[in-house]
């Protein structure tokens, strides 16, 4: 009886693995999935240390085309000091 139960469990696991493999192959052949993809976020480079940052969350300095974004308040202070004199 135990042998039959173990055989059924093994058969179930093998069939499940084959099923998942087949689904993976068909998904791979259908091209890249468009589900759960977020639009790319534009990053800008910190002029002081070179770190790339997201402008929406970064400290900034300047206006218009002269706007600069920084990874930290410290980098912004360094840039302000250099640009002031």
pLDDT in tens, 3-52: 999 999 999 999 999 999 999 898 888 776 666 667 778 899 999 999 99
Residue 65 to residue 53: CA distance in whole angstroms:
17
According to the model, what pLDDT value does residue 30 have? 79
According to the model, what pLDDT value does residue 34 have? 62
Task: Determine how many CB atoms are found less than 10 A away from the CB of residue 48.
Answer: 17
Cα–Cα distances (Å) from 83 to 7, 36, 65, 76, in that order, read 76, 43, 16, 11
The encoded tokens of residue 33 equal 């999935």
pLDDT tens readout for residues 39-82: 778 899 999 999 999 998 899 988 888 899 999 999 999 999 98
Residue 36 to residue 19: CA distance in whole angstroms:
23
Three-state DSSP at 68 gives strand
């Amino acid at each position: 009886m135990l042998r039959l139960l173990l055989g059924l469990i093994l058969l179930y696991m093998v069939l499940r693995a084959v099923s998942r493999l087949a689904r993976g192959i068909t998904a791979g052949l259908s091209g890249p999935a468009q589900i759960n993809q977020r639009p790319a976020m534009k990053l800008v480079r910190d002029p002081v240390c070179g770190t790339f940052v997201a402008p929406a969350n970064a400290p900034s300095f300047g206006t218009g085309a002269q706007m600069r974004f920084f990874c930290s308040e410290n980098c912004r202070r360094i840039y302000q000091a250099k640009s002031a004199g």
